Amino acid sequence: MKRSAYVTGVALLALVACSTEGKTEVGAEGGTKGDTKGDTGKQAPTDPLPSPYTAKELKAALLTTAQTPSGFEVYRTAATEPSSPPADVSEKVRPEECAVLRNPDTKARAETVVATAQLYRPSDELDQHSMALVSWAESDAKVRMAALRSALGKCRAIQFENINSNGTREAVFQAEKGPELGDETLRYSLNSPSFYQGFTVVRVQGVITYVKSETVFGMGLTDQQREELTPEPQEQLIRAQVAEVERTLR
């Protein structure tokens, strides 16, 4: 990619803002809670769902730097039990049914065990990559995948905003062709003039792997320049992580 020609300080600041956005307000079965008078961004308590694995076991199934292909470095990992009470949400998405696509693993953090990793590649400093492993009973995992597919079939243009800030941003979802991995795979992207996010979601029995790649664009770029800066799906990374899940957790 011809990245260095277009990198600006504005893009770097935007990347920090994009990567630190909070949790999206998501309700039951992948839907979202409607706006209510006096809403303070509190999530309703969620009963933990059964998981065949512990958070520690999920974290052990995350790739290490030594296992990642193509020069990736893992710089932050975490493992969490279901949050009680759930963390406050800080972002609202409209249409509401599209929130599950914006941050697909948000609700999981309140209802089951999750392991996460942040990655980067020094050769592409403005690209950020993250992975999350979430474990449910297999029937619950199938429901979550079905909710994502249903939302992707309905959602196109969205608006989203942080609850504690002014200003609304717009972006467009796009279904993408993905590899056939695990028991089922879903791939889609979220595009706007200022940023790009690509999502690959793979289910292996009751474990869902979420892989996200994102970048931001400087001001005044042409469509061609944005296309050159858009990160491609990290196929080797995704395949390696799914293979590790199959090896470690089956």
Mean pLDDT of 162-182: 89
Whole-prediction pTM value? 0.80
Sequence letter at residue 78? A
Residue 14 lies in a domain: yes
Residues 237 and 211: beta-carbon distance below 8 Å? yes
Residue 15: in which H helix or E strand, if any? helix 9-19
Q: What is the pLDDT of residue 193?
A: 87
Strands of 91-94's sheet, edge to edge? 73-80, 114-120, 128-135, 207-216, 195-204, 184-191, 169-175, 157-162, 91-94
Q: Which of 14, 249, 216, 17 is nearest to 135 (CA)?
A: 249
* Residue 67, C-beta contacts closer than 8 angstroms, at least 6 positions apart: 240, 244
In terms of pLDDT, which residue wins out, 124 or 204? 204
Q: What is the pLDDT of residue 21?
A: 46
Q: Which of 77-81, 86-90, 117-121, 178-182 has the lowest mean pLDDT?
A: 86-90
Structural domain count of the chain: 1
Residue 4 lies in a domain: no
Mean pLDDT of the chain: 81
Provide the token pair at 27.
């309700």
Residue 1 lies in a domain: no
pLDDT digits (tens, 9 = 90+) for 54-68: 999 999 999 999 999
Residue 75 lies in a domain: yes
In terms of pLDDT, which residue wins out, 74 or 109? 74
Give residue 31's pLDDT band: very low, low, confident or very high (50, 70, 90): very low
Mean pLDDT of 217-231: 83
Residue 145 lies in a domain: yes
Peptide bond into 95 cis (omega under 30): yes
pLDDT more than 70, % of the chain: 77
CATH code of the domain covering residue 239: 3.40.1000.70
**Structural domain boundaries, residue 98:** 9-249
Q: What is the pLDDT of residue 48?
A: 65
Using CA atoms in the order 104, 105, 110, 111, what is the torsion angle rounded to 10 degrees? 90
Q: What is the pLDDT of residue 33?
A: 38
In terms of pLDDT, which residue wins out, 28 or 72? 72
Q: What is the pLDDT of residue 106?
A: 77
* Residue 214, C-beta contacts closer than 8 angstroms, at least 6 positions apart: 15, 18, 19, 127, 128, 129, 195, 196, 197, 198, 231
